[in-house]
Amino acid sequence: MTLDDVKQLVLNGEAFKVEDSKTGNDLTRNILLQIISEQEAQGHGTLLTNQVLQQLIRFYGDSMQGMMSQYLEQSIASFLEHQDRIRDQMQTMMGAANPLTMMNRIADQNMQMWGMFKPGEGEQPPGAEPTATPEDKTK
């Protein structure tokens, strides 16, 4: 099994365990750290900035290490839950996931919104002075 295979298992949300075939030792954590390291090195944008990494290193050996681990795990789970909820709401609100369709709907909604602020043909906004029409000028 390759690192890409393991990465795909993670992306698919599948539970797995990586064991050394000779010793039976659990290598899952080391493999996951290696995948993260490669992702960070590929330059597609980082999740773990130097500052974040330095702050994480400071927690190792600290009395708060266990608490920080739980906090990070719960924070990421909460973020993912909200992310999924926001995606679901956007899809419900916008209908099809087609970006062009979504952009057209947004444009239509914006035009309707601006139309509410524009007085209709022949109407005056509240408090506006009446304007002269061509007929008024000829009289």
CA-to-CA separations, 117 to 27, 114, 120, in angstroms, rounded: 63, 5, 9
What tens digit of pLDDT does each residue of 16-49 get? Answer: 999 999 999 999 999 999 999 999 998 778 889 9
CB 7 within 8 A of CB 35: yes
Residues 6+ apart with CB under 8 A from 6: 16, 18, 31, 32, 35
Domain ranges of the chain: 1-47, 48-81
What tens digit of pLDDT does each residue of 45-94 get? Answer: 888 999 999 999 999 999 989 999 999 999 999 888 888 888 887 777 76
Q: At 132, which helix (H) or strand (E)?
A: none
Using alpha carbons only, what angle is made at residue 62 by residues 66 and 80, rounded to the nearest 5 degrees?
40
Alpha carbons 70 and 59: distance in angstroms, whole number: 12
CB 125 within 8 A of CB 116: no
